[in-house]
Chains A and B, each alone.
Chain A
Amino acid sequence: MEEYRHRLMDYVREEIMPHRFCTGCGCGTVLNAFVNAVEGVGLSPAKMVCVSGIGCSSWIPSPYFRSDTLHTTHGRPIAFATGVKIMRPDLTVIVIAGDGDVAGIGGNHLIHAARRNIDLSVFMVNNMIYGMTGGQVAPTTPYGVKTSTTPHNNVEPAFKVAELVMTAGASYVARWTTYHVFPLMESMQNAIRKRGFSFIEIVSQCPDNYGRRIGLRTAVEFLHQFKEKAVRIDKTAGMSEAELADRIIIGKLCDRERPEFTAELHALTRRIVAALKQEQPA
């Protein structure tokens, strides 16, 4: 039999495949969609820097995606990425990290990067739990879920992260699930192409450390639930808050033109340098 090789294997660090994600983990599907999206936009990984933090989904780019990678401290990938992008605006800088990283410990960096509208693409894999550390409550865990640190009940509401980022000023915001892989892949392409801060919240399954706490044992059960709970944003107009409470709103929340931070910054610097040249030598 001919040696099997996936047509997109060049985009991953093949020497360390198979990856370490658990059976049916959504991170593998996100990696798959991401690789397809990169190929789809015709982007060379040599012109990319992928930045991640700490947690399962941060392993998607680090170590699996074959480009320059920056695997940073917990919660800080967007701040690290900001420095990379400012000094190399010609490179495509992408952050892939989890809900704990991006919306929990690093929430401040998220909203400020969105406010600046810096040209980063942030793909937040939302598995609604701290999976790598063993199933602790996350800012995205739904109300009423028992986790290892809310053993009696979670009495906190979950963050609506995509809506938060849209309000903070991002150019492009969308939410999809790991069931909606084709629109997810297309959305990633749009996010990568978008000049400005682009953000995709990817609702993903964690059968091992979240599923078992909510009675979903397998990836298959999760994907069925994502399919059933998903409601496209253009269908939500007439729906009440109560009706939407348990649904996953999917689709594009915004796609708009706003001044981009690094372009503004470099244009300003060029103007200042030019003005200095006009001055008489002091």
Chain B
Amino acid sequence: MIEIDEHLCKGCDICIEFCPLKVFEKSEKLNRKGYYVPLVACEDECVGCRLCELLCPEFAIIVTNE
């Protein structure tokens, strides 16, 4: 499962760009600080590699393998 902390996200798009399975998508949703937070579009594709979690400069993504 992938969770995104919208409060922490600064919309750098690293997760969207570098997820090997393109799980994330740009969204139209602005957080309180005015950043476009990513959308977890294809969670089914996620293999739990945690690259997004580790690349995220904001501690805004957490991946839990169930």
Q: Do A and B come from one complex?
A: yes
**B46 in the interface (beta carbon within 8 A):** no
Q: Which of B11-51 contact A (CB under 8 A)?
A: 11-14, 17-18, 35, 51
Closest Cβ of chain B to A187, distance in Å, is: 13
Given that A218-B12, A220-B14, A220-B17 are known contacts, is A181 also in contact with B5, CB under 8 Å in the complex?
no
* Residue of chain A at shortest CB distance from B18: A223
Given that A23-B35, A220-B17 are known contacts, is A18 also in contact with B51, CB under 8 Å in the complex?
no
**A6 in the interface (beta carbon within 8 A):** yes
**Interface bracket on B:** 20 to 34
Given that A4-B3, A218-B13, A219-B12 are known contacts, is A181 also in contact with B55, CB under 8 Å in the complex?
yes
Given that A7-B62, A223-B17 are known contacts, is A18 also in contact with B55, CB under 8 Å in the complex?
no
- Hey, which chain B residues are within 8 Å of A9, CB to CB? 59
User: Are the C-beta atoms of B58 and A28 separated by less than 8 Å?
Assistant: yes
**Interface bracket on A:** 20 to 34
User: Are the C-beta atoms of A6 and B5 separated by less than 8 Å?
Assistant: yes
Given that A6-B59, A33-B54, A36-B54 are known contacts, is A24 also in contact with B5, CB under 8 Å in the complex?
no
- Hey, which chain A residues are within 8 Å of B53, CB to CB? 32
Q: Whole-angstrom distance between the alpha carbons of A7 and B60 in the complex?
A: 11
Closest Cβ of chain B to A152, distance in Å, is: 32
User: Are the C-beta atoms of A185 and B54 separated by less than 8 Å?
Assistant: yes
- Hey, which chain B residues are within 8 Å of A4, CB to CB? 3-5, 62
Q: Whole-angstrom distance between the alpha carbons of A178 and B54 in the complex?
A: 10
Taking a contact as CB atoms closer than 8 A, the residue among A24, A36, A224 that contacts B57 in the complex is A24
Q: Whole-angstrom distance between the alpha carbons of A6 and B11 in the complex?
A: 18
Pairs across A and B, CB under 8 Å, 21 listed: A4-B5, A7-B62, A12-B59, A17-B8, A23-B12, A24-B12, A24-B13, A26-B57, A27-B57, A29-B56, A31-B59, A32-B56, A32-B57, A32-B59, A36-B54, A181-B54, A185-B54, A219-B14, A220-B14, A223-B14, A224-B17
Q: A18-B58, A29-B14, A181-B51 are in contact. List 20 more A-B contacts (CB 8 A).
A: A4-B3, A4-B4, A4-B5, A4-B62, A17-B8, A18-B7, A21-B57, A24-B10, A25-B57, A31-B57, A32-B57, A33-B54, A179-B18, A179-B55, A182-B54, A218-B13, A220-B12, A220-B14, A220-B17, A223-B14
6 smallest CB-CB distances across A and B, nearest first, come from A28-B57, A24-B12, A23-B10, A181-B54, A220-B17, A6-B59
Q: Which residues of A contact B (CB under 8 A)?
A: 4, 6-9, 12, 17-19, 21-29, 31-33, 36, 178-179, 181-182, 185, 218-220, 223-224
